Structure 1
Amino acid sequence: MTTTAERPDAGGKLDAQVIAALGGGERPAPASPWTSSFAFGWRAMLKIKHVPEQLFDVTMFPIMFTLMFTYVFGGAISGSPGEYLQYALPGILVQTVVFITMYTALTVNTDIEKGVFDRIRSLPVWRPSMLVGALLGDSARYAMASTVVLTVGVIIGYRAPGGFLGVIAAVVLLVTFCFSLTWLWLIVGLKVRTPNAVMGVSMMVLFPLTFVSSVFAPPETMPGWLRSFVEVNPITLLVEAARGLMNGATDVSDIVWVLGLSAALIAIFAPIAMRLFNRKS
């Protein structure tokens, strides 16, 4: 009887302690879509802090690409690495950042494999914020990779005739396009089963798009049948727009094409990615 009588008192004390620990204030308002998206974007950046090896794709790889293509192909194509660098650096910049976009698919696929989606589903946040946050975090990585390529280029002799503003405009245009392209890789990451499969699918798409373009050589030097593909390749349009901005010979039509393609990529692939995300989680 003594034990039975003491249980309500003990329970009451426990409830009082829980209430005191939780506080008696009002329940905080749910996070807004922007707040939750930026929180997940910050989460993507914190991963670099805990796994610094992730910086290899935005530091070492850009340096390798810039040095390797300049000094291996420069003499054969333009007669000297210095002359070739003036032509090729905008293309190398585009190729480097476009290749980095596939890592978004790897990140999302890994989160699914580890069960992070199930944890986020229980949170009172805007559902698309995880995807939007991942894109925001990766956009910062694109800017970092661009800075590395341009810094290495300047060190080895590149000078942009378009000046600082032309370079900044080219980087902004590049990051905008890559942000749009990443929605496609989100679909791949949500649909494919393993990270290795994600890597294989991404490489199968990116290699022909980047190498069969005007990144390394002018389309005028190519056979007619190949030139027809190169001239309509979205990467070629992006490279020519960035090259024009950096060389001080801006072609407004190229910029309009790139912005139109970016809008089309978001309009087509973003709804598909969101539907797959809702079904997956």
Structure 2
Amino acid sequence: MSRTGRLRASSRAAALSFLRRRTAVFFTFLFPLLIVLIFGALIETGAGGGGLFAEPPGYYVPGYLAVVVLFTPLSRVGSEVARHREGNRFEKLATTPLRRWEWLFAQTLVNVAVIGLAALLLLALLVVVTGAEITLSPLLIPFVVAGVALFCGIGALIGALADSQDGVIATSNAIALPLLFLSETFAPPSLLPAWFRPALELSPLTYFSRGVRAATFDSSGDPLANLAVLIGLAALALAVGALALPRVD
């Protein structure tokens, strides 16, 4: 079988695996929409009040998008790797022409498609519910693709190192929750202690937030520079994640 055929078959298997898990579908599509309804409609955002959610609604678009770009790849790919380890599937895959990086690339393709659709629905709801005034920049597509790829790579690494699926979920949440709120998403840097602000540069999600915000809301930023950093981090994460996948179980 050709490489294209292997990727196609592996991607199809990954897509069917996702659709069979109703919990995964719920958290990918419905959970982010609930977050928007809660924080966008019930806890209304608006400039002038000070504190958290004091910025215009458009400022928080990267934060809402980060919910799916961050959480879904980490948990889905990490759990998939853990399931393959527990079922001795990597040992079986080692007897086939499918390489480890091809398997991870196929998983990433499926996540990009699923999360891209979820992000599109999320953006539409954001505009309707919060009245966010944003620019629908074509740069949103590479930002979402690079962000998903980045956290797919990290998810693969978590799945390869965690001792169980429960361990994957616990580790993913322990990583994702701090990143979600400490990466210039919902909390502006001005709200954080001065001594902590340099640490924002260490979060890969910061470059997603800055870039998306510069492309859709704040034109004073540089989206291309942040996109370049994000792509570099994504390539590194996928390479490390593929190397971490076990050859045998």
Does residue 90 in structure 1 map to residue 59 in structure 2?
Answer: no
Does residue 40 in structure 1 map to residue 10 in structure 2?
Answer: yes
Aligned to 1:10: none
Aligned to 1:19: none
Contact residue 94 and residue 174 of structure 1 kept, 8 A: no
1:176-217 Cα offsets, whole Å, 9 max, x none, are 122023212211111212011011111111111111232113
How far apart are the structure 2 equivalents of 1:49 and 1:198? 20
How far apart are the structure 2 equivalents of 1:48 and 1:278? 22
Aligned to 1:101: 73
How far apart are the structure 2 equivalents of 1:128 and 1:237? 25
Q: Give 1:117 shift.
A: 2.1
Aligned to 2:183: 213
Question: Greater CA radius of gyration, 1 or 2?
Answer: 1
Task: Name the structure, 1 or 2, with higher relative contact order (CA <8 Å, separation 6+).
Answer: 2
Aligned to 1:65: 35
How far apart are the structure 1 equivalents of 2:54 and 2:120? 20
Aligned to 1:255: 224
1:78-133 Cα offsets, whole Å, 9 max, x none, are 54989642221232112332111212111111122123223323323344322211
- Greater helix share, 1 or 2? 1
Aligned to 2:123: 150
Alignment of 1:106-117 (within 5 A): 106-117=79-90
Q: Give 1:62 shift.
A: 0.9
> Given residue 246 of structure 1, which amino acid in structure 2 is its aligned partner?
T
How far apart are the structure 2 equivalents of 1:61 and 1:78? 29
Contact residue 215 and residue 239 of structure 1 kept, 8 A: yes
- 223-232 vs 235-244, which deviates more? 223-232
1:250-274 Cα offsets, whole Å, 9 max, x none, are 633x43234224324423x444433
How many positions carry a matched residue from both structures?
246
Aligned to 1:135: 108
TM-score (norm 2): 0.85
RMSD: 2.7
Give the match's secondary structure for 1:280: coil
Percent identical among aligned pairs is 20
TM-score (norm 1): 0.76
> Given residue 114 of structure 1, which amino acid in structure 2 is its aligned partner?
G
Q: Give 1:156 shift.
A: 1.0
Contact residue 44 and residue 130 of structure 2 kept, 8 A: no
> Given residue 79 of structure 2, which amino acid in structure 1 is its aligned partner?
L
Query: What 5-or-longer segments of structure 1 have no aligned partner?
Result: 1-30
Contact residue 207 and residue 227 of structure 2 kept, 8 A: yes
Note closer, same or farther for the CA distance 1:213–1:127 as it changes in structure 2 (3 Å cut): closer
Does residue 242 in structure 1 map to residue 212 in structure 2?
Answer: yes
Contact residue 192 and residue 198 of structure 1 kept, 8 A: yes
> Given residue 170 of structure 1, which amino acid in structure 2 is its aligned partner?
L
Aligned to 1:222: 192
Give the match's secondary structure for 1:185: helix
